[in-house]
Amino acid sequence: MNNLFLVQQTAMNSKRECAPRFHLAPLFNRSGVTVTIRCHALLFILALGVAGAGCNRQQQPVRARNPAAESPPPLVPASGSSQLDKLAGGRLPVYELKMDPNELAGLERSAFSNERHPATFIAGGETYEAVKVRYRGAWARSWPKKPLKIFFNHDKPFQGHYCLNLNSGWRDPAFVRETLAYHVYAVCGAPASNSRMVRIQVNGQFRGLYVEVEQPEKAFLSRFNLKGASVFKAISKSNVADERDLGSEESYRAHYEIQTQKTGGLRDLQSFCQELAHSKNALDFFTRQVDVEKYINYLAATTLIQHWDGYNKNHFLIYDGQGSHKWFVVPWDLDRTFGDYWDWSFNQAHLPILLGTRQMPGITGWNRIEDRFFSEPKLRSRFLDRLAELLDKEFTTEKLYPVLDKLESQISAEAALDRRRWPSQSSDLHSGIVEVKRFIEHRRAYLLEEVQKLRGNDRVP
């Protein structure tokens, strides 16, 4: 098997940070002609919120399927069923948005605004009046095809959910990296959002193929028997939501957002991070404060899919304050996985197992929970045992290739329409799927060797 080049981590910065030197980032215009933009200039434009709107291009109408005749399966799969058996079975769910043309134009004019625009949402023959729509995300708002967020009235949620995240998938040649990533977390035993591919129509015309991702809210907590749990979202724009000791509770407000149990504020998170920073006994701290099994499964899945962009953002912290009184981490924004790397390549499969620690920081930095966890030999040994087990039973070509084949079959027609509607640098869908399969093969081979090396270097009596 060919070895892939391992990019040195410490010499680079995040895709959302300015690098210490200029970097030429390839972009593609609508006609497919390659252009280049300096990274500093691009990010400066994004910060000002004036990056190209991209969505108001005139399109030829595409005949819509009748959403009233198609009842999408619930986002939450039946108990005991395979997540992807539900999400990649049969035809794609179809969601229809009806918007006043002026409201739609207002949405498309203001890519970086969080102003919500009124709409009507239709799915499975059910109509949801007076929903609100805005764009979501940060970097993805600069893309021609932007992700959407839909808010439902509290007296009529959609399949138990009060908001709907519809990610763009515009950069992903395979479209399915994010959905597959959430699937891997689930089969590894880590609490994670459900995800599926959906077709979006706006005012009767094809809008695109989107990635639906479940919001970690009330329905999510109920599914994992976490009633009354506190959910904290890492939102730091300066990459410091890495569970460091930030001092006062007020200091945490700039980098974390509490999503549930809001009257409690951020005091629980503040106390957790401070004890993490000052505890002398890592094993005792994790035994008392962290759901170790859930956290190990989270770390293992993160390693398998090579999620390098969640150490100081792109994750949730959940505190089960009315049950176990323990903490664990939930993944978020999983588009930069399965080989998608910060330098715009899609073939990086050799990032190290201990990436994200102080001694081996990622592009954006390192995570304090992960670093303390791996500092304890007994915890590190448990992690390596679990990673080896998952490499043997779950992260295999026998398990994941059929999932990818089902997804490719399900989305092929819409993927072709999407590439015509939103041209990009991506190759055809099948080549994109093959690229993900190749990553799985290379990543698995690399990790099997690395597990043995780490075990040999770190024997626990």
Long-range pairs, 435-439, Cβ under 8 A, ≥24? 435/173, 435/174, 435/339, 435/346, 435/347, 436/174, 436/176, 436/177, 436/180, 436/338, 436/339, 436/404, 437/397, 437/400, 437/401, 437/404, 438/347, 439/306, 439/338, 439/339, 439/346, 439/347, 439/349
Residue 156's contacts (CB-CB under 8 Å, 6 or more residues apart) are: 128
Total Cβ atoms within 10 A of residue 396: 14
Q: How confident is the model at residue 272 (pLDDT cuts 50, 70, 90)?
A: very high
What's the mean pLDDT in 441-460? Answer: 91
Burial 433-448 (b: 16+ CB within 10 A, else e): bbbbbbbbebbbebbe
pLDDT tens digits, one per residue of 117-160:
999 999 999 999 999 999 999 999 999 999 999 999 999 999 99
Exposure of 309 by Cβ count < 10 A (0-12 exposed, 13-18 middle, 19+ buried)? buried
pLDDT at 460: 47
What's phi and psi for 232, nearest 5 deg?
A: -115, 125
pLDDT at 60: 38
pLDDT at 13: 38
Q: How confident is the model at residue 71 (pLDDT cuts 50, 70, 90)?
A: low
Describe the crossing of helices 397-421 and 177-187 by its angle, rounded to 10 degrees. 150
Q: In this model, does residue 392 exceed pLDDT 90?
A: yes
Q: Give the pair of three-digit tokens for residue 387.
A: 């990673």
pLDDT at 30: 32
What is the Cα–Cα distance from 94 to 199, expressed in whole angstroms? 5
What's the mean pLDDT in 387-394? Answer: 98
pLDDT at 427: 73
Residue 163's contacts (CB-CB under 8 Å, 6 or more residues apart) are: 149, 150, 151, 152, 215, 217
Q: How confident is the model at residue 173 (pLDDT cuts 50, 70, 90)?
A: very high
pLDDT tens digits, one per residue of 352-372:
999 999 999 999 999 999 999
Q: Give the pair of three-digit tokens for residue 131.
A: 């929903």
Total Cβ atoms within 10 A of residue 66: 11
pLDDT at 313: 95
Whether 179 and 87 have beta carbons less than 8 Å apart is answered as yes
Q: Name the DSSP letter for residue 92.
A: P
Average pLDDT, the chain: 85
Spatial CA neighbour of 367 closest among 420, 319, 309, 419: 309
Q: What percent of the chain has pLDDT over 90?
A: 77
Q: How confident is the model at residue 344 (pLDDT cuts 50, 70, 90)?
A: confident
Exposure of 209 by Cβ count < 10 A (0-12 exposed, 13-18 middle, 19+ buried)? buried
Whether 25 and 40 have beta carbons less than 8 Å apart is answered as no
Rg (CA), the chain: 22
What's the mean pLDDT in 316-336? Answer: 97
In this structure, of 6-10, 168-172, 179-183, 398-402, the range with the lowest mean pLDDT score is 6-10
Task: Give the start-to-end residue ranges of the domains of the chain.
Answer: 227-394+441-457
pLDDT at 425: 84
Q: How confident is the model at residue 110 (pLDDT cuts 50, 70, 90)?
A: very high
Q: How far is CA 341 from CA 112, 134, 306, 420, 439, in A?
A: 24, 27, 9, 25, 12
Angle at 83 between CA 82 and CA 85, to 5 degrees: 65
What is the Cα–Cα distance from 142 to 419, expressed in whole angstroms? 17
Whether 211 and 179 have beta carbons less than 8 Å apart is answered as yes
Whether 72 and 124 have beta carbons less than 8 Å apart is answered as yes
Spatial CA neighbour of 242 closest among 68, 389, 372: 372
In this structure, of 44-53, 71-80, 253-262, the range with the lowest mean pLDDT score is 44-53
pLDDT at 378: 98
Whether 174 and 433 have beta carbons less than 8 Å apart is answered as yes
Q: How far is CA 73 from CA 33, 161, 196, 197, in A?
A: 40, 14, 10, 12
What is the Cα–Cα distance from 106 to 118, expressed in whole angstroms? 11
What's the mean pLDDT in 449-453? Answer: 97
Q: Which of 5-14, 23-32, 355-364 has the highest mean pLDDT?
A: 355-364
pLDDT at 408: 98
Q: In this model, does residue 337 exceed pLDDT 60?
A: yes
pLDDT tens digits, one per residue of 41-51:
333 333 333 33
In this structure, of 40-49, 93-102, 144-153, 271-280, the range with the lowest mean pLDDT score is 40-49
Q: Give the pair of three-digit tokens for residue 344.
A: 């715009």
pLDDT at 311: 97
pLDDT tens digits, one per residue of 188-228:
999 999 999 999 999 999 999 999 999 999 999 999 999 99
Q: In this model, does residue 19 exceed pLDDT 50?
A: no
Q: What percent of the chain has pLDDT over 70?
A: 80
Beta bridge partners of 335: none
What's the mean pLDDT in 431-454? Answer: 98
